């Protein structure tokens, strides 16, 4: 099969370049200026707020209260390290693609503000800290570490393979919710699985919306996404259905975990945010995709607040 243009160039690079050569090539072109702010921008550190509140919520439900500062600290380290490493890896793998995309060419790696070596260092340190946290928590978290690493490492390549990439991302990030429970109880449960499913579907739903920003670029460069494969209208319907299923999973947690009105009240907030973001994007203005995406930053906090108040009312 013949490959032309960008795709052919990318395949040639993957076949013929070793990682050290890749770094030497970049270092002759740019001279990075490293600051903490740029590292945080590289991995979009503020987006840690998507999954971290669910990890905390799952942790609190598993402990039926406060699990102790040590457990809290190790869970925090594991979640932040995992997301930082995976995001840095995603930026590293996508550096050539980002350089061609007008929307992303000003990111830290394509613009030269940070080097690929900087990103690789974050990947190594992040995964090392994740392994340390997994070891410190309990034997099950350590045993599950290879599976977690597989999902984290493989995600950046899924957009080259399948339009189901959004759901792979959801499964990967959603594991944070189950991870909070496993870190406390060293076992699986239906509660943890429902939280995992809810976060996975929620993440996948808004990632479909976010992919609208690159619809034309993805089609031109043979990258896979639901909008690129099915078009805008179908993508929005699929996203809405995915979010509806996410809400159902959160709703099922009410009887399964024997939760009461404080958690139920938080679900009203979640429903309102989900409705608002789809109201924005259903104006058929792709420019609203970013505003719709940002609305999701509040969902985890709302659910966590509901769980905290639930436990306070019980105590």
Residue 84 maps to a domain: yes
Residue 151 to residue 167: CA distance in whole angstroms: 11
Residue 110 to residue 99: CA distance in whole angstroms: 5
| Residue whose tokens read 């670029």 | 217
Residue 283 pLDDT: 60
The answer to whether 249 and 201 are in contact (CB under 8 A) is yes
| Residue whose tokens read 């509040």 | 298
The answer to whether 161 and 135 are in contact (CB under 8 A) is no
Task: Give the domain range for residue 68.
Answer: 34-314
Residue 5 pLDDT: 43
Residue 30 pLDDT: 45
Phi, psi of 29 (to 5 degrees): -100, -40
Residue 126 maps to a domain: yes
Residue 6 maps to a domain: no
Q: Total domain count for the chain?
A: 1
Residue 38 pLDDT: 85
pLDDT of the chain along its 315 residues, tens only?
A: 444 443 444 333 434 433 434 333 433 344 566 777 888 888 787 777 778 999 999 999 999 999 999 999 999 999 999 999 999 999 999 999 999 999 889 998 999 888 899 999 999 999 999 999 999 999 999 999 999 999 999 999 999 999 999 999 999 999 999 999 999 999 989 999 999 999 999 999 999 998 988 999 999 999 999 999 999 889 999 999 999 999 999 999 999 999 999 999 999 999 999 998 888 877 655 556 666 777 788 899 999 999 999 999 887
Residue 167 pLDDT: 97
Residue 67 maps to a domain: yes
Q: What is the CATH number of the domain that holds 100?
A: 1.10.357.140
Of 183, 166, 241, 152, the closest CA to residue 62 belongs to 183
Residue 165 to residue 270: CA distance in whole angstroms: 24
Residue 34 to residue 113: CA distance in whole angstroms: 7
Residue 254 maps to a domain: yes
| Residue whose tokens read 């939280």 | 195
What would the 3-class secondary structure string for the chain be?
A: CCCCHHHHHHHHHHHHCCHHHHHHHHHCCCCCCCCHHHHHHHCCHHHHHCCHHHHHHHHHHHHCCCCCHHHHHHHHHHHHHHHHHHHHHHHHHCHHHHHHCCCCCCCHHHHCCCCHHHHHHHHHHHHHHHHHHHHHHCHHHHHCHHHHHHHHHHHHHHCCCCCCHHHHHHHHHHHHHHHHHHHHHCCCCHHHHHHHHHHHHHHHHHHHHHHHHHHHHHHHCCCCCHHHHHCHHHHHHHHHHHHHHHHHHHHHHHHHCCCCHHHHHHHHHHHHHHHHHHHHHCCCCHHHHHHHHHHHHHHHHHHHHHHHHHHHHHC
Residue 115 maps to a domain: yes
Residue 264 maps to a domain: yes
The answer to whether 246 and 277 are in contact (CB under 8 A) is no
Residue 19 maps to a domain: no
């Amino acid at each position: 099969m013949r490959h032309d243009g960008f795709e052919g160039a990318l395949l040639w690079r993957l076949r013929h370049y070793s990682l050290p050569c890749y770094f030497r090539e970049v270092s002759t072109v740019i001279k990075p200026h490293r600051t903490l702010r740029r590292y945080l921008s590289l991995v979009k550190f503020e987006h840690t707020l998507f999954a971290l509140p669910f990890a905390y919520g799952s942790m609190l439900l598993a402990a039926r209260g406060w699990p102790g500062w040590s457990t809290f600290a190790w869970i925090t380290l594991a979640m932040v390290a995992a997301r930082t490493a995976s995001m840095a890896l995603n930026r590293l793998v996508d550096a050539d693609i980002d350089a061609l995309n007008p929307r992303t060419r000003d990111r830290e790696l394509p613009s030269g503000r940070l080097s690929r070596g900087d990103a690789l260092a974050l990947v190594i340190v992040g995964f090392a800290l994740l392994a340390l946290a997994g070891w410190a928590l309990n034997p099950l978290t350590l045993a599950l570490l290879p599976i977690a690493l597989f999902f984290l490492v493989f995600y950046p390549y899924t957009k080259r393979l399948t339009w189901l990439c959004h759901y792979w991302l959801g499964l990967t990030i959603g594991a944070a919710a189950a991870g909070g429970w496993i870190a406390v109880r060293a076992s699986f449960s239906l509660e943890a699985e429902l939280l995992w499913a809810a976060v996975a579907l929620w993440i996948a739903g808004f990632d479909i919306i976010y992919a609208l920003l690159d619809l034309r670029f993805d089609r031109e460069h043979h990258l896979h996404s639901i909008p690129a494969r099915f078009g805008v209208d179908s993508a929005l319907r699929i996203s809405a259905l995915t979010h509806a299923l996410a809400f159902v999973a959160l709703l099922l947690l009410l009887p399964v975990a024997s939760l009461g009105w404080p958690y139920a009240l938080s679900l009203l907030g979640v429903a309102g945010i989900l409705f608002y973001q789809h109201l924005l994007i259903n104006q058929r203005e792709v420019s609203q995709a970013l505003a719709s995406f940002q609305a999701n930053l509040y969902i985890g906090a709302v659910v966590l607040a509901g769980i905290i108040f639930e436990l306070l009312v019980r105590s």
